[in-house]
């Protein structure tokens, strides 16, 4: 029994089998799409589950040579960067007083952000469309999509960052104030650097959510301002007979988010662990 516990850990073989099944279900469609991009339509029709034989790179070359793809990618990148910057900056500025200051209605105010996690964007899509296009005049612009997305990312940002900021020792603030630092200086020079794992976590989450957003850009963007998820839908419609080309387009579209997650996965995990511990 001791050897078995050492081999399988605490969970036992059943947990590993379940984890393996989840990995297969999760990565299966991704691998199928990536490999399908290296096949021809004739190969897909003959045997959809087979490996490429021969391997063909013309589908990926065709997508990368498409001017529309790079236009979609540019729009998605700019909107995602704006969304991430606004969400992280506004989120940490909101989380800091909720974590470090004692004032009336602090916990009810934090509860508002917690309840915001239960508020999906689809519920407010029509009022947002009217507000952005008619009242703000930001229809079919990067900012018109980025600002609402940052607003919906704000609850997650505050909920994750507050425990980081609460865990900071008060002695640091007291020592900094004795040295003549202002509260704003303490925030910028002490709180932000020490909360960097949490900032990276919420930044990645905001970026990926914006990169994959579909409904809000669908209503607010038109023509050359459309983002990559909309480009995938347009390409699938225009090239409905070119299944291999659609698979290649979809695979390339998800590569940036996948690379970002893989590159920062340790920081994301440590950030979420810090939030839970806090």
Domain 67-277 has CATH 3.40.50.2300: no
Name the burial class of residue 135, with classes exposed (0-12), middle (13-18) and buried (19+) by CB atoms within 10 angstroms of its CB: exposed
Burial class (CB in 10 A: 0-12, 13-18, 19+), 49: exposed
Residues near 205 by beta carbon (within 8 Å), at least 6 away in sequence: 153, 156, 268
**Token duo for residue 114:** 């917690």
> For each of the chain's 278 residues, which pLDDT tens digit applies?
445 445 555 667 888 888 888 888 888 888 888 888 898 888 888 888 888 888 888 889 988 888 889 999 999 999 999 999 999 999 999 999 998 888 888 899 999 998 988 888 888 888 888 999 988 888 899 999 999 999 999 999 999 999 888 888 888 888 888 888 888 888 888 888 888 888 988 999 999 999 989 989 999 998 889 999 998 888 888 877 788 888 888 889 888 888 887 777 776 666 665 555 55
Q: Tell me what pLDDT residue 68 has.
A: 86
d(CA 175, CA 73): 47
Other Cβ atoms within 10 Å of 270 Cβ, number: 14
User: Is there a contact between 170 and 104 (Cβ–Cβ < 8 Å)?
Assistant: no
pLDDT at position 234, please? 85
According to the model, what pLDDT value does residue 1 have? 44
Asked whether 206 and 84 are in contact (CB, 8 A), the reply is yes
Which 3 state secondary structure label does DSSP give 204?
helix
For the entire predicted model, the pTM comes to 0.84
- Report d(CA 276, CA 278) in Å as an integer: 5
């Amino acid at each position: 029994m001791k050897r078995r516990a050492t081999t399988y850990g605490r969970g036992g073989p059943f947990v590993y089998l379940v984890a393996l099944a989840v990995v297969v279900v999760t990565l299966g469609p991704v691998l199928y799409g990536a490999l399908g991009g290296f096949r021809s339509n004739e190969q897909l029709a003959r045997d959809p589950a087979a490996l490429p034989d021969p391997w063909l790179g013309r589908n990926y070359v065709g997508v990368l040579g498409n001017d529309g793809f790079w236009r979609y990618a540019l729009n998605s990148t700019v909107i995602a960067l704006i969304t991430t910057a606004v969400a992280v900056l506004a989120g940490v500025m909101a989380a800091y007083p909720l974590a470090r200051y004692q004032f009336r209605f602090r916990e009810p105010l934090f509860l508002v952000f917690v309840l915001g996690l239960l508020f999906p964007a689809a519920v407010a899509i029509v009022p947002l469309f009217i507000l952005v296009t008619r009242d703000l005049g930001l229809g079919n612009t990067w900012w018109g999509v980025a600002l609402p997305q940052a607003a919906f990312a704000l609850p997650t940002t505050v909920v994750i960052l507050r425990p980081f900021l609460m865990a900071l020792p008060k002695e640091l603030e007291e020592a900094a104030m004795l040295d003549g630092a202002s509260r704003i200086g303490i925030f910028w020079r002490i709180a932000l650097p020490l909360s960097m794992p949490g900032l990276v976590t919420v930044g990645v989450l905001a970026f990926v959510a914006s990169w994959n957003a579909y409904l809000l850009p669908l209503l607010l963007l038109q023509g050359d301002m459309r983002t990559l998820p909309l480009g995938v839908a347009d390409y699938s419609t225009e090239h409905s007979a070119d299944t291999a080309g659609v698979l290649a387009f979809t695979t390339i579209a998800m590569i940036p988010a996948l690379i970002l997650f893989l590159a920062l996965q340790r920081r994301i995990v440590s950030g979420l662990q810090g939030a839970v511990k806090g």
